[in-house]
Amino acid sequence: MGEIRRRTLLAALGGTAGTAAASGMTAGRAAAAPAPAAEGAVPAARSPYESRIRALLGRMTTEEKLGQLQQLTWTNDTGPGEGQNARATELARTGRLGSVLNVFGVKNTNALQKIAVEESRLGIPLVFGLDVIHGYWTTFPIPLAQAAAFDPKVSVSDAEVSAGEARSNGVHWTFAPMMDVARDPRWGRIAEGAGEDPYLTAVLAAAKTRGYQGRSKDADLKAKDRLAACAKHFVAYGGAEGGRDYNTVDVSESRLRNLYLPPFKASVDAGAATVMASFNALNGVPQHGNSHTLTGILKREWGFDGVVVTDYNGVQEMLLHGFAADPAEAGAKGLSAGLDMEMVSTALADHGADLLAEGRIDARRLDDAVARVLRLKFRLGLFDEPYADVDGEVTKPSAKARKAAREAAARSMVLLRNESGVLPLAASAGSVAVVGPFADSEDLLGTWVGPGGAKGPDGVKFPPVTVVDGIRAATGAKVTYEKGVAAEGSDTGGLAKAVAAAKAADVTVVVVGEPAALSGEAASRSEIGLPGAQERLIAAVAETGKPFAVVLVCGRPLTIGGWLEDAPAVLLAWHPGIEAGHAIADVLFGEVNPGGKLPVSFPRSVGQIPVHYNHESTGRPYDPDEPNEKYVSKYLDLPPGPQFPFGHGLSYTTFEVGAPRPAVRTIAASALRAGRSVEVAVEVRNTGKRAGDEVVQLYVRDLVASVVQPVRSLRGFERVTLKQGESKTVRFELGAEELGFWTNDTRGEFVVEPGEMELYAGNSSTAKAMARLTIT
């Protein structure tokens, strides 16, 4: 930005006590207090920039205000008109564009920013957004894998590395973290979240928000290694019927607040700068037009003063929902409900002036939305430094970033099964056969990769270390590789060679799973077993009688009951990212002792879904001591419970987790509501022969309540590293938030009720060690 122009703009933004000068060019009126919404007044924002925001609002025309609410997408189209790029460029030049997504790289972002800052009337900078989900250049494990680490530091590590790389490339805003609690593994986007538990998801959502933004949303967002986070998708998107993406959700107010909202509240409390509305309709109202959630809960109850952005084309899609008759009505409903920025579709930009003149949208609500967008730009420091540093651009993964990704991947892996001590692989093995369609595959990066995982004419820019290469680097043994079968389809032409390799080797590693394209957005599956002929490969290797281990790579829980008994050892590696092969080898050879746990239950079959651990009590529960009882909640053709429960994960050593010890056995509900808590101590001891990690987990069951409660709810966890014979006492705090719940009141009421609580401690959701706590 030219220095004279920069000083002029800063002066106009309140350099002298923030007084807005009258402007003959201003068509809309100056900013006022936000209009009271149907759910109640939105709290006034408090930030250092409010006087400057008011000054700028006072100079803006209606068209310029509406432009700040518009986000367009950049494309790589180089044909006539450059697709949407030409429109974005022209709107930036005329000051009628607030944001652009999918543009990155210093050259590209600075060029577009220069047009907005130096050619438009007011010189308001653009904010550039990008889906940085689990890495920019350096691809970390998918978020579901990160959740399996049960370690917030893994989420922070990903976010910090990603933020540094992306911000240096001109990106200001990531559309992450995703915190949709998901109980249906058929839903492809389960890969992007933290699984089935609201407590675990909330802890990791807050951690990743802080990782992207830092701890102070005003100071740290200006840093050149930080991004504005986006809590998405608000709300209940993970509850889509049938696991079909974009589908309807219908839940009670109690379930909404107890299950789906806690991760969003945690992210907002951690300072999330933005929130994204979800595609689904909730109880008959599309989320892009839902004033109860967007304004009533998010803005009024929680005091959120950031930007609510739509999802891609979400406003326009209210027409297909049958909730709006035309784009103008959709725009009016969206803005009135609490949306602040429209992604890709242009209902507000096209019709906002007429809607305002007709009284169908409120001028104060419009100014409030614009103020939120401007506030984000101030927090990011864009008015002072709109351009990315040409000399500071990161163009590839650093050695430090790769090390962090490798550690995160190994820490996220879950040892599902290990009979006869097949793992870790013996260092004395003279030969290792590596077979399977994912042993030498780029699918190890997973879904929703950033620019580093994008495919170009020469292949993936920064491909993953393959399992074959990782094993070769980890051992001096002779390593042979055969694909065996295709990842999908019926091609088994290489099966005989794979079997021959297994017979000739001391041990075999079979790498199977699902391609990255079968998980993520618009990737729901009605069957979630291994695709193609992969089960035949496992069976054929098992028939050799030679020792082998299965490495399972996937973006969701799979149904593996058909081959599980054939495999003496199964290591769940998920889609582990750029350092996949090295991290897998680290665990296979025991350099890293696996300590991950399942953040989501593995079903025995698709027909069993949903099979989450935190289901509610029924009047006829299954009793394992009475397996032949007919009139109970069970399937006739399946054992009760999942194949592997939430929280499950083995180690190369063994642990003993003691019973929970609450500091007091009785506490008053009034004391809990006043802020008191109960400390619960749990001792864990390494009883094996090597150092390792255990995740101590604390669960609560409310035995009698005014609203039926889950049979168990995770209320604390801590991952600890212990040497052979070492023990540690882990301490948890249970307060009102952990011991209370939301009722089914029309607008929600949080209560802490007197009654008996059971506290369970252990290393999975099936923990047996129990103590009682009485709330009076």
Burial of 629 from C-beta contacts in 10 A (0-12 / 13-18 / 19+): exposed
Please give the Cα distance from 482 to 469 (Å, whole number).
13
pLDDT of residue 558: 98
Query: Which residue, of 607, 623, 640, is where some domain finishes?
Result: 607
When pLDDT is averaged across residues 664-679 and rounded to a whole number, the result is 98
Per-residue pLDDT for 318 more than 60? yes
Angle between helices 363-379 and 347-357 (to 10 degrees): 140
Task: Judge whether residue 79 has pLDDT over 90.
Answer: no
**Helix (H) / strand (E) containing 253:** helix 253-255
pLDDT digits (tens, 9 = 90+) for 95-143: 999 999 999 999 999 999 999 999 999 999 999 999 999 999 999 999 9
Task: Say what the pLDDT of residue 747 is.
Answer: 78
pLDDT at 692 over 60: yes
Among 235, 248, 239, 231, which Cα is nearest to 304's? 231
Bridge-based pairing of strands 678-686 and 661-662 is antiparallel
**DSSP line for 111-130:** HHHHHHHHHSSS-PPPEEEE
Do 598 and 657 lie in one domain? The reply is no
435 shares a domain with 580: yes
Average pLDDT over residues 628-648: 95
Looking at the fold, whether 679 and 603 belong to one and the same domain comes out as: no
Same domain, residue pair 542 and 663 = no
Residue 614 lies in a domain: no
- Asked if residue 443 has pLDDT above 90, the reply is yes
Across 460-485, average pLDDT: 97
| Same domain as 715, residue 592 | no
Alpha-carbon span 675 to 606, nearest angstrom: 43
- The model's pLDDT over 183-195, given as tens digits with 9 standing for 90+, comes to 999 999 999 999 9
- How much is the pLDDT for 517? 97
Assigned domain for 70 exists: no
Q: Indicate whether 665 and 598 sit together in one domain.
A: no
Residues 426 and 575 in one domain: yes
Active site residues per annotation: 311
Q: Is the pLDDT of residue 7 over 70?
A: no
pLDDT at 637 over 80: yes
Q: Does residue 594 form part of some domain?
A: yes
Q: Average pLDDT of 615-641? A: 93
Residue 655 Ramachandran class (φ > 0 left, ψ -120 to 50 alpha, else beta): beta
* Euclidean distance between CA atoms 701 and 699, whole angstroms: 7
Average pLDDT over residues 43-55: 86
Task: Supply the range of the domain harboring residue 757.
Answer: 653-775
Are 660 and 572 found together in one domain?
Answer: no
Is 336 contained in some domain?
Answer: no
**Tens digits of per-residue pLDDT, 747-761?**
789 999 999 999 999
Q: What is the pLDDT of residue 13?
A: 36
Q: What CATH number should be reported for the domain holding residue 543?
A: 3.40.50.1700
Q: Which helix (H) or strand (E) holds 401?
A: helix 399-412
Do 579 and 658 lie in one domain? The reply is: no
| Residue found by looking up tokens 């609580």 in the block | 757
pLDDT at 383 over 90: yes
For residue 591, which amino acid is it?
Answer: E
Residue 305 has pLDDT above 80, yes or no: yes
pLDDT of residue 41: 55
- Do 554 and 691 reside in the same domain of the chain? no
Residues 90, 93, 94, 96: what is their CA dihedral angle, to the nearest 10 degrees? 80
Mean per-residue pLDDT for 223-242? 97
Do 315 and 307 touch, CB atoms closer than 8 A? Answer: no
Reduced to 3 states, what is the DSSP secondary structure of residue 390?
A: helix
H/E run at residue 309: strand 307-309
**DSSP code, position 279:** S
Same domain, 588 and 733: no
For range 540-565, the mean pLDDT = 97
Partners of 509 in the β-ladder: 434, 549
For the chain, the domain total comes to 2
Phi then psi dihedrals of residue 553, to 5 deg:
-110, 130
Residues 6+ apart with CB under 8 A from 222: 379, 380, 381, 384, 385
Instruction: Point out the least confidently predicted range of 14-18, 263-267, 362-366, 592-596.
Output: 14-18
Q: Point out the domain boundary residue: 607, 641, 662.
A: 607
CA angle 387, 88, 230 (to 5 degrees): 65
- Residue 694 in domain: yes
What's the rounded mean pLDDT across residues 64-70? Answer: 98
Domain shared by 450 and 587, yes or no = yes
User: d(Cα 744, Cα 256) in Å, to the nearest integer?
Assistant: 9
User: Looking at the domain assignment, is residue 583 inside a domain?
Assistant: yes
Residues ≥6 apart with Cβ < 8 Å to 55 = 12, 13, 14, 18, 19, 20, 21
Point out which residues pair with 72 in neighbouring strands: 100
Task: Please report, for the domain that includes residue 741, its CATH number.
Answer: 2.60.40.10
Instruction: Give the span between the Cα atoms of 621 and 616, in whole angstroms.
Output: 10
Assigned domain for 669 exists: yes
- pLDDT at residue 43 greater than cutoff 90: no
Q: What percent of the chain has pLDDT over 70?
A: 93
Which of 551, 585, 607 is a domain's end point? Answer: 607
Q: How far is CA 291 from the centre of its chain?
A: 24
Taking the model in full, what pTM does it have? 0.94
The stretch 13-40 carries a mean pLDDT of 32
